[in-house]
Structure 1
Amino acid sequence: MNANAKWEESKIDQPMIVDKVMSDRRAKRGFTDAPVSLDVVKDILRAARYAPSSSNTQPWKCYILTGESRKRITTKAVENFRAGPDKLAPEYPFFPQPLHDPFISRFNLFRGQLGDAVGVPRSDKYGRLKDVERQFRFFEAPVGIIFTMDRGLEWASFICYGCFLQNVMLAAKARGLDTCAQQVWSLQHAMLREELGFPETDMVVAGMSLGWADNSLAENNMDNHKLAIEEFVTFLE
């Protein structure tokens, strides 16, 4: 096969490969204890840094937690949560209060499915608190990531940050790894600022669990409903 033919063939295969990585990516909420090489983490971030950002401002900053640092942070996070979950406030609102339709319907459907998967109905307040604790352990993933951003930036920079987070998750999936992006880590901003040493001028955007998913868990096999394109796209000629 000549070079031109190979190029034409690769152009056919590449969209299918990219599409599969996107469709196979799922938030995983339980991981094995298999280690992840720091070199692989570096490769993921080298790929993710090509995310688009407004005028190339690149607002992202990451703290990679493994080993003892991960253990220290997760221990303190769980202690904070147990001491008073109502005392923890995020750096930015996750949803408007109250959340309105159709978004509240999608939210409740997902939360109901997740509760069924982990065996914790929404009426079980104690069980729900214990389930949140799992988030503050990075769902036992060997790598935790904390993402921060200069708080002097405007909300538009969250669009750029979302592109970067998606790149991290897709680059991880392309390497056989799984992730879970976690806004909940914004609740721990005071502790994280003290432990990780970043300034008051930086805000906690999110955390992320990274590792090898334990796909024997029901919560890692949920079939989340995705909208058909006709439900969110208007075609104009």
Structure 2
Amino acid sequence: MSVSGALARRRSIRAFADRPVDPALVRDLIVRAGRAPSGGNLQPWHVDLVHGAAMARLKARMEARMADAPMGEGAEYAVYPADMAERFDARRKGVGRAMYAALGIGREDAARRREVFADNFRFFGAPMGLFVSVERGHGPPQWADCGMFLQSLMLLLVEAGLDSCPQEAWAIWPRTIGDFVSIPAERILFTGLAIGYRNEDAAVNRFAVDRADPGEWLTEHVE
């Protein structure tokens, strides 16, 4: 598969098939993704891969934690800017509306919306997941490096016939996840990533996700 093909195929999957994933394959892809570029070759990402019995334990723990604290523990960083420009907020809200419409869930159905959000913490049924953490003293350039690692991994997963969903939603559970995978105090939880095979029949995996017109963000300088 070409890089272009992998980019076209990749999307955030929110319903995974009940199909096992080869751990050796995923470990190999993670190692390959480590070839992603990073400023000064710092390679600032740290990855914790969860599957098998550990995944079952994590999902059970999350069910208990969500019962106690439905809105999580509070993220240690702002996932979105507090004062976000309207065009960005419109995109965020637009993809949410499209997702809930695909699921047939109206704005008034708060209970079902909460359940959809809670499914983040079941990895959307994926059999494997990982967490990325980064040194607390590292800044935006190193966080961007982690993003390049994740993009590299997601495209490699597509090439291997697998799917994924990057999940910054996990940031609201820093203590629970930090305890589960033993993230030391000097690192901060950045994001999670669900890994598996997409459920091709799930409507939530098929709704259209718009992209901004390049004229909004591309400026060409020729003279």
TM-score (norm 2): 0.95
Residue aligning to 1:40: 25
Residue aligning to 1:20: 5
Residue aligning to 1:128: 113
Amino acid at match of 1:186: A
Residue aligning to 1:151: 136
State the Cα distance separating 1:134 from its structure 2 match.
0.9
CA contact (8 A) 2:51 2:129 kept: yes
State the Cα distance separating 1:97 from its structure 2 match.
2.4
Gaps of 5+ in 1: 1-15
Q: Partners of 1:118 and 1:67 in 2: how far apart?
A: 29
1:59–1:191: structure 2 CA closer, same or farther, 3 Å change rule?
A: same
Task: Say which SS state the counterpart of residue 146 (structure 1) adopts.
Answer: strand
Task: Say which SS state the counterpart of residue 140 (structure 2) adopts.
Answer: coil
Residue aligning to 2:85: 100
**Are positions 1:169 and 2:154 aligned together?**
yes
CA contact (8 A) 1:77 1:188 kept: no
Q: Partners of 1:228 and 1:50 in 2: how far apart?
A: 31
State the Cα distance separating 1:174 from its structure 2 match.
0.5
Q: Partners of 2:171 and 2:59 in 1: how far apart?
A: 13
Residue aligning to 1:236: 221
Task: Say which SS state the counterpart of residue 173 (structure 2) adopts.
Answer: helix
Residue aligning to 1:213: 198
Task: Say which SS state the counterpart of residue 89 (structure 2) adopts.
Answer: helix
Q: Partners of 2:72 and 2:125 in 1: how far apart?
A: 24
Give the aligned CA root-mean-square deviation in angstroms: 1.4
**Are positions 1:58 and 2:37 aligned together?**
no
Q: Partners of 2:17 and 2:181 in 1: how far apart?
A: 26
Q: Which has the larger radius of gyration?
A: 1
How do 1:197-208 and structure 2 match up within 5 A?
197-208=182-193
**Are positions 1:89 and 2:74 aligned together?**
yes
Q: Partners of 1:199 and 1:230 in 2: how far apart?
A: 43
Residue aligning to 1:160: 145
Count of aligned pairs between the two proteins: 222
Task: Say which SS state the counterpart of residue 85 (structure 1) adopts.
Answer: coil
